[in-house]
Amino acid sequence: MSGALDSAPAVEGNERLLVGAGLLLLVVAPFILGPFQTGLLAEVLIFGIFATAFNLLYGYTGLLSFGHGMFFAVAGYTMAKTVQTVGPMLGFGELFGGASVLATWLFGLVLAILVTVLVAMAIGYLAVQLEEIYFAMITLSFTMAIYAIANQDIIGTLLEFLGMGNGTFTNGSDGLTFTLGEVDLFGFTFTLVDIADPFAYYFFTIAIFAVTMYLLYRIVKSPFGTVCKAIRENPERASALGINITRHSWVTFVLSGGFSGLAGGLLIPLFTNVTPRYAYWAFSAEPVLMTVIGGPYSFFGPLVGAFSYRYLRWFISRFEMLEAYWQFSFGLLLLLVVLFVANGVIGAPKQVRSWLDSRGE
């Protein structure tokens, strides 16, 4: 049974079929799942974007960032500021009428990507000068710096010093809470983010998810992605081939940051609030864990990891005994995955198959 499955074209065909079936399932899912599961699925898909974007740097280029939470946080704050301040300031209400909530949200997403790209350019320029553990440490330092800036509301204090505002900008540890309400689009009305039942937001999410994953896929399959892998495998040799490693890593860092920003801008409205905790180092561990669980050497690994990670957590919450010690149960289950599945969850079917084959011999 192994021969046919191992041949390359069949796998390619299978992959395409799987992606098609997956997308179809995603479209049908909210009609079958309840409101709670629909929200959870939207969240998992956005974390999938986040982890895949992170993996551009980790799995493909060999740079372990321990500070990707900063992009998520910066994007989240940008979205919150757009909804609370920028949108009203630009008169979105009068300009777009019933569609103003939708317009504000789209504008917020674009701004979130732009701002994170700028942040990633600045931080990335410094970070890619280093490698390995030093790279992980410098990204961690930057995310903690952003955490402190948000938590101490340093921007607010500075603005007040300059005579603007009254000392609040990020609102310290409480962060910013906001909702995206009614949209009236040519007579069709819906709540953009209905927290109890995010049905509408789910469809916006899967549309953006599909486009983003396609873009990321094209990036890793392009010559650009191949250069990334070359850097991962052997920086010296890649350099000898004429590749400017620092520059290429920098561009990858910015791309990874920008897509992470998109994930942050997309997820924060669903959570209805952004706090400094997204820039705290512990949150930056989430895409790392998801990727390691799912498998960093496969394009869909981080996405599978995001699914496994969140649904495992959900599964634990359904059992009172496991939930009472959820950190312990979660850690134990993750440990099992890491110990027994060499290439992440995505590699598990293959591993089981080869194990079965070896027993058959």
Partner 1 sequence: MGSDHMKHSDGAGKTSSGRVNRRSFLAAAGTGTAVALAGCSGGGGDTVRIGGIYLISGLAQALGTSSENAARAAVDDINENGGINGNDVEITIRDHGSQPAQTIRSLVQEDNSDLLIGITSSGVGLATAPTIESLGVPFIATDIGTPYITEFDTEAYGDYYESDDGKAALKPNIFRSTANTSHMTYGIAKFIADNYGAMRVANMGPDYAYGEQCWEYFKAYSEGLGVDHEYVASEFPSLGASDMTPQINSVLSNDPDLVFTSFWAGDSTTFMSQAAEQGLFDEVEDVFDTIGADPTVFSALGDTTPEGIHLSGWYWPTAYDNEYNQAFLDKYESMYADENVPSIPGFTGGQTWGAVQTYKQVIESVGSLNSDDIISELEGFTFEEDPRGPVTYDADSHQAQAPVTLGTTSFDVDVPYDGAGLADIQKYTITRDESLELLDGSGLGPGM
* Closer by beta carbon to partner 1, 151 or else 298: 151
The end-to-end CA distance of the chain, in Å, is 13
* Distance from C-alpha of 247 to C-alpha of 350, rounded to nearest angstrom: 36
* Distance from C-alpha of 98 to C-alpha of 103, rounded to nearest angstrom: 10
* Closer by beta carbon to partner 1, 7 or else 327: 327
Nearest Cα neighbor of 285 from 144, 76, 106 is 144
Tell the smallest beta-carbon distance from residue 217 to partner 1 (Å).
Answer: 29
Tell the smallest beta-carbon distance from residue 289 to partner 1 (Å).
Answer: 12
* Distance from C-alpha of 361 to C-alpha of 344, rounded to nearest angstrom: 25
Tell the smallest beta-carbon distance from residue 173 to partner 1 (Å).
Answer: 4
Tell the smallest beta-carbon distance from residue 72 to partner 1 (Å).
Answer: 14
> Looking at beta carbons, which pairs linking 209-216 to residues 24 or more positions away fall under 8 Å?
209/26, 209/45, 209/46, 209/48, 209/49, 210/23, 212/49, 212/259, 212/262, 213/48, 213/49, 213/52, 213/303, 216/49, 216/52, 216/53, 216/56, 216/259, 216/299
* Closer by beta carbon to partner 1, 124 or else 198: 198
Tell the smallest beta-carbon distance from residue 131 to partner 1 (Å).
Answer: 31
* Closer by beta carbon to partner 1, 35 or else 347: 35
Q: What is the largest CA-CA distance in the chain?
A: 78
Q: Are strands 182-185 and 188-191 parallel, antiparallel or unpaired?
A: antiparallel
* Distance from C-alpha of 80 to C-alpha of 86, rounded to nearest angstrom: 9
* Closer by beta carbon to partner 1, 92 or else 253: 92
* Closer by beta carbon to partner 1, 59 or else 198: 198
Where on the chain is the footprint of partner 1 (CB under 8 A)? 30-32, 34-36, 39-40, 43, 81, 84-85, 151, 156, 165-179, 181-182, 189-191, 194-197, 199-200, 271-273, 275, 313, 317-318, 320, 323-324, 326-327
Tell the smallest beta-carbon distance from residue 200 to partner 1 (Å).
Answer: 7
